[in-house]
A and B are shown apart, each in its own frame.
Chain A
């Protein structure tokens, strides 16, 4: 059972490697056609509603999945690096958030020993 617990990290990091590979290598070849909602907005004539609206948040560090400074000269590289940065960043943020929530949960369970003795083996 202990080996199985350690094995999970092999699975997780193999999965992360796959996600990074998708973001880094495949994303520059992704279709740049409008997505379902954009296409409907173009066809039905309401796309200008967003084009005429100033974005409420325009401090995104990597707007439109293209690393700033590179998107003119090397658009594929700009997308690949944006994908790499985003995938690794969200992995770390999600892990951190989950650890904090788990810790809070463990503290809560420790406060009520009657319940915790039933839940933990």
Chain B
């Protein structure tokens, strides 16, 4: 979903760039208070994992491929603001180091994948999680739902930007983008649930958004009781 040079007009590039810069700036500010001994190496691992996973395009129907986005994964592990920094850093390195995504579209790509696909989608995840009963299964279910939604919202935002730029009318771009990404989103949900499931099994303390107060103390008590 990395937009190349040439698809967006100046207005869209600048507007999304300003919002993206604001989100990254606030993320950098929040990072100062949120980073601790555990989240520093975890942030590095998240960035490396998302970068590697984004290289692995999987085939979807009709000669198309999709790849992992990772917005919900990093937001679930690190919270929305550190997560926003991770995705923005991955996009910056992909653009400057690997010519993936245009430099003039970097702001739009950060807007779509870090602001919409990570921060906004995190709050959707949070909303779903709050509505559901608190246990591991429902926690993973809210991650699955939010992962799919994050890909749909990011691709929808991309279609809107293409339409405003006069590249493709919304009536054409939006259904086409949403149609493809409805399938890619299933891959996103599967990978995210799988990875969070493994981290919860091995190091539940590293899943920042897990309801540790209600779920972990029982485990600790059980261990003390032994």
Contact with B along A76-118 (1 / 0, CB 8 A): 0001001100111111111101110110110011000000000
Closest to B64 in A: A39
Contacts of B7 in A (CB 8 A): 41, 46, 49-50
> A94 near B43 (CB under 8 angstroms)?
yes
> B48 near A88 (CB under 8 angstroms)?
yes
> A39 near B40 (CB under 8 angstroms)?
no
> B96 near A57 (CB under 8 angstroms)?
yes
The interface on chain A, measured as residues whose beta carbon lies within 8 A of the other chain's beta carbons, has a size of 68
Contacts of A70 in B (CB 8 A): none
Residues of B contacting A: mostly: helix
The interface on chain B, measured as residues whose beta carbon lies within 8 A of the other chain's beta carbons, has a size of 72
Q: A19-B52, A52-B6 are in contact. Are A35 and B64 (CB under 8 A)?
A: yes
Cα distance A113–B35 when bound, in Å?
A: 18
Cα distance A85–B1 when bound, in Å?
A: 22
Residues of A contacting B: mostly: helix
Residues on A facing B (Cβ under 8 Å): 4-5, 7-9, 11-12, 15-16, 18-20, 22-23, 26-27, 30-37, 39-41, 43-44, 46, 49-58, 60-65, 79, 82-83, 86-95, 97-99, 101-102, 104-105, 108-109
